[in-house]
Amino acid sequence: MAKKRPAKSSRRSSRRRRSRRLAAGRRTARRDRRWSARVTRESDVLDLQHGVFTRRNPREIASSLKRSAERSRRRKTNPYRSALSMLTFYINRAGKNLPSGRRKTLERAKAELRKQFGRD
């Protein structure tokens, strides 16, 4: 015995429901991918100065990270490692969207951070 096909309107509405469900899943996935931005903003380890990664001078970036890492009592490792990991995290989070000039500045800030902690 052949199965009865549902009416066209019910097929259309089931497609609509399925597409809405998929769209809702995509929205949720998009929102969940932004956890790294929240880490930079609300880090529980370092109290970063606002706009520290947007500065143009690598020495200022390094000294700000060093100051934050040394003052923090919530970190689980030494200040050098905390500061360097936050800087590396920021660079990696930006990925290919980071302009080459900014990347160079932040890489120089890494070298400056090593110098300020005496880890040449």
The angle at the Cα of 24, spanning 96 to 36, to the nearest 5 degrees, equals 35
**Which residue ranges in the chain fall short of pLDDT 50?**
none
- pLDDT of the residue at 120: 74
Closest CA to 6 of 15, 21, 23: 15
- pLDDT of the residue at 105: 96
| Beta carbons within 10 angstroms of residue 58's beta carbon | 18
Asked if 45 and 82 count as a contact pair (C-beta separation under 8 A), the reply is yes
Flag whether the pTM goes above 0.75: no
Contacts of 60 (CB under 8 A, 6+ apart): none
* Cα separations in angstroms, 85 against 17, 72, 81: 44, 14, 6
Output the six-digit token pair for 42.
């609300």
Output the six-digit token pair for 19.
């597409």
Enumerate the domain spans of the chain: 7-34, 43-116
